[in-house]
Structure 1
Amino acid sequence: MSHLPLPSPLVSLEWLADHLGDQRLVVVDASTSATNPVTGMPMGAHDAYLITGHIPGAVYADTADSFREPGAPFPPARPGLERLEQVLRALGIDNTSTVVIYDSAFGQWAARVWWILRAAGLDRVALLNGGLSGWRQAGHPEERGDTEPRLAGELTLRERDGWWATTADVRRILDGAAGVSVEVAVNNDSEATLVCGLTASDPGGAQPHHETTLVCGLSGQAFAGNPGDPRSGHIPGSVNIPFESLLEVPSRHLLSGAALDRYPAAIDPRRPVITYCEHGILATGVAFALRLRGHRDVAVYDGSLAAWRANPLAPLTQLAANLPH
């Protein structure tokens, strides 16, 4: 049986509607939370999948639990290949599958699963543009109840190089920019300016002189930091690309590549990019957008700020305009 090709890593609602029922297609609901449409109260994502409905034929993935490595110090750390193979086979995914992923939020959880699958060597994987919200707004059909996954055949996974970054990778970037270890720099005011790449007259996130661009996917407020919390803010020298700035409201469609044009340091194909956020979720959404635009050297810092802050000497910086005078 021939494979079902994808037109893009980001497929339209119409494309999915036209291909529902194709035996080569596995649609994955990667939602992690939901709101009861009657009461407006929060409800479990699996309950919402069963009761309020999902895209016909979609299988439910317990994303926050299944797509992480148990016991990892900074959850939700990506699962190892052995665990991932078990999770994917349970969803009916094998070497013949074409996979389309969506969620009921803004696409960040679907992007997380997309990144994990692509980093593990799977090629025919796409996000649904607009997600479940867009599907509903377009008036496409839904179904309730559970979907029994198909029986999976052989599945071969292999870790792709360059898709994940570690704390050590980020430390090397900052060490190279400062010409001194970050532990030394954070305790020396004159060298700390070098590490940050920021001055009081330059609050916008100037880049230090190194080859790799650090991109923070948090909101502008979180990036700026809280003056009352010295461990808030961002890794020195980072560019801020809030994930929500890449979405069209209210459709939740990912904006075209032009939305990234205001961030020249991040889209320069000559400069590798490492994205991060708080726990590595929004970071995958930004990384997906960069890959979609054509940037091929993008990695996600999986532990993100949760892992970075674990070292009390690891530097963080706040925007100068946000600091107390």
Structure 2
Amino acid sequence: MNFKNSMWIVLFLSAMVSCKRGKDTTSQEIKTYASVKHLMEVEELLEIHKHEKVVIVDFRKDEEYKKGHIEGAINIWRTDIEDTSYPYGGMMAKKVDIETFFSKLGIKNDAILVVYDNKGSSDAARLWWLLKSYGFESVKLLNGGLSAWRQIGGSTSYEMTKTEPSIFTLPVKDALDAWIGKEELLGMVNSSNNVIILDARTEEEFSGKRRKEGATKAGRIPKSIHVDWARSIDYEGTKKFRTFPELEAIYSELEASRDDTIIVYCHTGVRSAHTTFVLTELLGYEQVRNYDGSWTEWSQFDNLPFEKDSVQF
């Protein structure tokens, strides 16, 4: 089955539960998002999780997966989708390596991936963004993650999910409009063009008070505007995405129109992938690109400009 046909399956499975959305308060809120094509509620997954085309991905560390996961879920972690040829960590894996890895996991071209974590989808969004960058669109984030699944009585397991090898291939054409590298970003920093550079890290990282492991110095990319990624979810509660009006109020701080170019970064492109999801999928911004290397890469090069507010501790 080709990619076009797999998308028809996505639409069919979504239609199976659409009749229930009008009766659910959360679902009514989701309807106000620009798109829910890549977002799934736990109630929806409960209806379709045993469908043969649905592949549930637990995007957490192996030790967390072994402590309990959604029944039938396979386990993937950041290190599985990284390019280790760089002298610093966090860079996205090459297309051929993703294809080889997914084939070992038994993922097929027509699979519908439902990805979750337990951190408000920050890690899961990294996998969504990487696959989007390579043109694979059949991915949905599970809103609220493992906690939300457990709250509705979804079945969990401690057993490793068994799979059979497959042949997985990514689309021929990349969709790298979601990606940006340091050279192009440097040109934007040095230009007078109206480009918004968004730092999705914590305030301490943005100001230069904190240097996380992997970076060679603390600080931020010049011209950066700060909006912590965690503001976009109910961080202390459900870990679900905030409503459209709440998100719109938060990101109104950018003073951006829906077609302005927005470059997002964080420490290693994980939290910024989450912000990219929020801006493009939930709010409908059209020109959003995630800087893969983010601060970890940028900090390695003395010729790249940076700013900081105070001495790190």
Q: TM-score, normalised to structure 1's length?
A: 0.78
Which residue number in structure 1 is paired with residue 83 of structure 2? 69
1:167 has 2:187 as partner: no
Instruction: Give yes or no for contact 1:74–1:279 (8 Å, CA) kept in 2.
Output: no
Letter in 2 for 1:285: H
Residue by residue over 1:281-318, the C-alpha shift from the partner in whole angstroms, topping out at 9 and shown as x without a partner, is 11101111111121121111111111111122422223
1:104 has 2:94 as partner: no
Letter in 2 for 1:316: F
Could you tell which deviates more after superposition, 134-143 or 235-244? Answer: 134-143
Letter in 1 for 2:231: S
- The 5 Å alignment of 1:90-239 reads 90-157=104-171, 158-177=173-192, 210-226=193-209, 231-239=217-225
Letter in 2 for 1:14: E
DSSP 3-state at the match of 1:109: helix
RMSD: 2.4
Alignment partner for residue 289 of structure 1, among 244, 262, 278? Answer: 278
Could you tell which deviates more after superposition, 126-135 or 255-264? Answer: 255-264
**Larger relative contact order, structure 1 or 2 (CA cutoff 8 Å, min sep 6):** 2
Alignment partner for residue 102 of structure 2, among 68, 74, 88? Answer: 88
DSSP 3-state at the match of 1:262: helix
Which residue number in structure 1 is paired with residue 268 of structure 2? 279
Which residue number in structure 1 is paired with residue 33 of structure 2? none
Which residue number in structure 1 is paired with residue 60 of structure 2? 31
DSSP 3-state at the match of 1:116: helix
Q: Distance in 2 between matches of 1:272 and 1:261?
A: 19
Alignment partner for residue 253 of structure 1, among 229, 240, 258? Answer: 240
Residue by residue over 1:266-291, the C-alpha shift from the partner in whole angstroms, topping out at 9 and shown as x without a partner, is 65222111110111111101111111
Letter in 1 for 2:177: G
Q: Distance in 1 between matches of 2:130 and 2:239?
A: 22
Name the larger-Rg structure.
1
Which residue number in structure 1 is paired with residue 49 of structure 2? 20
Instruction: Give yes or no for contact 2:54–2:112 (8 Å, CA) kept in 1.
Output: yes
Could you tell which deviates more after superposition, 18-27 or 223-232? Answer: 223-232
1:228, distance to aligned residue in structure 2 (A): 11
Gap runs ≥5 in structure 2: 15-36
Q: Distance in 1 between matches of 2:51 and 2:164?
A: 12
Residue by residue over 1:182-202, the C-alpha shift from the partner in whole angstroms, topping out at 9 and shown as x without a partner, is xxxxxxxxxxxxxxxxxxxxx
1:70, distance to aligned residue in structure 2 (A): 2.0
Residue by residue over 1:143-192, the C-alpha shift from the partner in whole angstroms, topping out at 9 and shown as x without a partner, is 12111124434523332131111111111011113xxxxxxxxxxxxxxx
- The 5 Å alignment of 1:291-310 reads 291-292=280-281, 293-310=283-300
Percent sequence identity is: 24
Q: TM-score, normalised to structure 2's length?
A: 0.81
- The 5 Å alignment of 1:46-65 reads 46-50=62-66, 52-61=67-76, 63-65=77-79
Q: Name the CA shift for 1:150/1:128 in 2 (closer, same or farther; >3 Å).
A: farther
Instruction: Give yes or no for contact 2:201–2:229 (8 Å, CA) kept in 1.
Output: yes
Gap runs ≥5 in structure 1: 33-45, 178-209
Q: Distance in 2 between matches of 1:131 and 1:20?
A: 14
Residue by residue over 1:242-280, the C-alpha shift from the partner in whole angstroms, topping out at 9 and shown as x without a partner, is 111111131100112332433333652221111101111
Could you tell which deviates more after superposition, 134-143 or 234-243? Answer: 134-143
Which residue number in structure 2 is paired with residue 78 of structure 1? 92
Instruction: Give yes or no for contact 2:74–2:161 (8 Å, CA) kept in 1.
Output: yes
1:239, distance to aligned residue in structure 2 (A): 1.4
Structure with bigger helix share is 2
Instruction: Give yes or no for contact 1:239–1:266 (8 Å, CA) kept in 2.
Output: no
1:107, distance to aligned residue in structure 2 (A): 1.6
Q: Name the CA shift for 1:154/1:311 in 2 (closer, same or farther; >3 Å).
A: closer
Q: Distance in 2 between matches of 1:106 and 1:94?
A: 27
Letter in 1 for 2:200: G
Q: Name the CA shift for 1:21/1:219 in 2 (closer, same or farther; >3 Å).
A: same
1:49, distance to aligned residue in structure 2 (A): 1.9
